[in-house]
Amino acid sequence: MRYKRPDKKNALSLIEAAKREMNFTLKLEINEESGPTIVRNIYESFRMLGDALLISKGIESDDHIAPINELLKIIVETKRPINSIDNLRRFRHNINYYGYKPSLIEIKDAISIAQSCFEPLYKEVSNIVNKN
Q: Which helix (H) or strand (E) holds 59?
A: strand 59-60
**How many CA atoms lie less than 13 Å away from 84 in the CB half-sphere?**
18
pTM, two decimals, is 0.94
Q: For residue 100, what are the contacts with CB-CB under 8 A and spacing of at least 6? A: 91, 94
Q: Which helix (H) or strand (E) holds 121?
A: helix 104-131
Which pLDDT tens digits describe the chain residue by residue (132 residues)? 677 898 999 999 999 999 999 999 999 999 999 999 999 999 999 999 999 999 999 998 888 899 999 999 999 999 999 999 999 999 999 999 999 999 999 999 999 999 999 999 999 999 999 997
C-alpha pair distances (Å), 76 with each of 38, 99, 125, 129: 24, 34, 10, 15
- Relative to beta strand 2-3, strand 59-60 is antiparallel
